[in-house]
Chains A and B, each alone.
Chain A
Amino acid sequence: MTEPASLLPPAKAPLTRKRWIVRLLAVLAILGPGLIAANAGNDAGGVLTYASAGSQFGYRTLFLMVLITVALVVVQEMCSRLGVYTGEGLGGLIREQFSARSTFGALSLLLIANAGLTVSEFAGIGAAMQIFGVSQYISIPIAAVAVWGLTVLGTYSRAERLFLVLVLAFLAYPIAAFLSHPDGKEVISNLVWPHFLATQSFLVLAVALIGTTITPYMQFYVASAVVDKGIKPADYRSERIDTVSGAIWSDVISIFIIIATAAAIGGTGPLESAREAAKALEPAVGPAAPALFGLGLLGASLLAASVVPLSTSYAIADATGAPRSVSASFRQAPLFYGLFTLQIVVGAGIALAPGNLVALVVNAQVLNGIITPMLLTYVLILANRKRVLGTAVNGRIFKVVATLCVTVVGAMSFIVLVLTVKGLF
Chain B
Amino acid sequence: MPDEDGADKGRRRGPYLVSKLRDQLAVRRTIAGELISLANLLGRPVVDTDGDRVGRVNDVVVHWEAGTANPMVSGVLVSLSKGFALLDASEVTFEQSKVRVRSTRISVAKAVRHVSDIGLARDVLDHQLVDIEGVQVVRAADVYLRKLPDGWELAGVDVGFQAYARRLLRKRRVCPPPHRAVDWADLQTFVPRATDERTPDVTDPAAAAGTVGGGIQLGFPAKDLRKLRAREVAAIISDLGPRKRAQVASLAAPVAAAEALRQLDQNQRDALLGELSESDRTRLLALLESDDEK
Interface residues of A (CB under 8 A from B): 86-88, 92, 95-96, 100-101, 103-104, 227, 229-235, 319-321, 323-325, 327-328, 332, 386-387, 390-391
In the bound complex, CA of A100 to CA of B158 (Å)? 14
Tell me, yes or no, whether B138 is within 8 Å of chain A by CB: yes
Q: Which residues of A contact B243 (CB under 8 A)?
A: 87
- Partner among A87, A96, A104 whose Cβ is within 8 Å of the Cβ of B241: A87
Check if B173 is an interface residue, CB within 8 A of chain A: no
- Out of B167, B206, B238, B270, which one reaches A101, CB within 8 Å? B167
Q: Please, how many angstroms separate the alpha-carbon atoms of A80 and B260 in the complex?
A: 27
Q: Which 10 A-B pairs have the closest CB atoms?
A: A87-B241, A230-B268, A321-B139, A232-B271, A100-B167, A230-B267, A390-B214, A387-B212, A230-B271, A95-B126
CA gap between A233 and B271 in the complex, in Å: 8
B192 touches A387 (CB 8 A): yes
Determine the interface band of chain B, counting residues with CB < 8 A from chain A: 20 to 34
- In the complex, which residues of chain A have a beta carbon less than 8 angstroms from the beta carbon of B268? 230
State whether the Cβ of B44 lies closer than 8 Å to any Cβ in chain A.
Answer: no
Question: Once the chains bind, are B238 and A325 in contact (CB under 8 Å)?
Answer: yes
Q: Is B274 an interface residue (CB 8 A)?
A: yes
Whether B16 is near chain A, meaning CB under 8 Å from some CB there, is: no
> Of B137, B167, B241, B275, which is within 8 A of A86 by CB?
B241
| A96 B126 Cβ-Cβ under 8 A | yes
Closest A residue to B138 using CB positions: A321
Q: B293: CB under 8 A from chain A?
A: no
Interface membership of B254, Cβ < 8 A: no
Contact of A387 among B128, B206, B239 (CB under 8 A): B206
Within 8 A of A (CB), among B13-60: 39
Judge whether A229 and B241 touch: CB under 8 Å.
Answer: no
A231 in contact with B271 (CB, 8 Å): yes
B167 engages A323 (CB within 8 Å): no
CB distance from B132 to the nearest CB of A (A): 15
Residue of A nearest to B161 (CB): A320
Residue of B nearest to A98 (CB): B126
Across the interface, A227 reaches (CB within 8 A) one of B137, B212, B241, namely B241
CB–CB A100/B241 < 8 A: no
A383 smallest CB distance to B (angstroms)? 16
Mind listing 25 A-B residue pairs with CB under 8 Å?
A: A87-B241, A88-B241, A95-B139, A96-B126, A100-B126, A104-B168, A227-B241, A230-B265, A230-B267, A231-B267, A231-B271, A232-B270, A234-B274, A235-B271, A321-B137, A321-B139, A321-B159, A321-B239, A325-B239, A327-B265, A386-B212, A387-B206, A387-B212, A390-B213, A391-B214
Question: CB distance A100 to B168 under 8 Å?
Answer: yes
B residues within 8 Å of A by Cβ?
Answer: 39, 126-128, 137-139, 159, 161, 164, 167-168, 192, 206, 212-214, 235, 238-245, 264-265, 267-268, 270-271, 274-275
Contacts of B241 in A (CB 8 A): 86-88, 227
Q: Which residues of B contact A232 (CB under 8 A)?
A: 242, 270-271, 274-275
The answer on a CB contact under 8 Å between A87 and B168 is no
Known: A87-B244, A325-B238. A92 touches B128 (CB 8 A): yes
Q: State the CA gap A229–B264 with chains docked (Å).
A: 11
Closest to B266 in A: A230
Inter-chain CA distance A386–B268, complex, in Å, is 25
Chain B residue with Cβ nearest A232: B271
Tell me which residues across on chain A come within 8 A of B245, comparing CB atoms.
87
Known contacts A232-B270, A232-B271; A320 and B139 CB within 8 A of each other: yes
Q: Is the CB of B126 within 8 A of A87?
A: no
CB neighbours of B128 from chain A (8 A) = 88, 92, 321
Q: Could you say which residues of chain B place their CB within 8 Å of the CB of A86?
A: 241
Q: Whole-angstrom distance between the alpha carbons of A87 and B244 in the complex?
A: 8
Determine whether the beta carbon of A323 is less than 8 Å from that of B127: no
**How near does chain B come to A255, taking the closest CB pair, in angstroms?**
34
Which residues on the B side are within 8 Å of A103 (C-beta)?
126
Closest to B215 in A: A390
Known contacts: A96-B126, A323-B137. The answer to whether A87 contacts B267 by CB under 8 A is: no
A324 / chain B contacts, CB cutoff of 8 Å: 239
A sample of 10 more A-B contacts (CB under 8 A), given A233-B274, A325-B239, is: A88-B128, A92-B139, A95-B126, A96-B126, A103-B126, A232-B270, A234-B274, A320-B139, A321-B159, A325-B238
Smallest beta-carbon distance A387→chain B, Å: 5
Q: How far is the CB of A279 from chain B (nearest CB, A)?
A: 45
Report A331 CB to chain B, min CB distance, Å. 12
Residues in B whose Cβ lies below 8 Å from that of A328: 238
A100 lies within 8 A of B164 (CB): yes
Q: In the complex, how many angstroms separate the beta carbon of B119 from the nearest chain A beta carbon?
A: 11
B238 touches A323 (CB 8 A): yes
Task: Please give, as numbers and ranges, the residues of chain B lying within 8 Å of A100 by CB-CB distance.
Answer: 39, 126, 164, 167-168
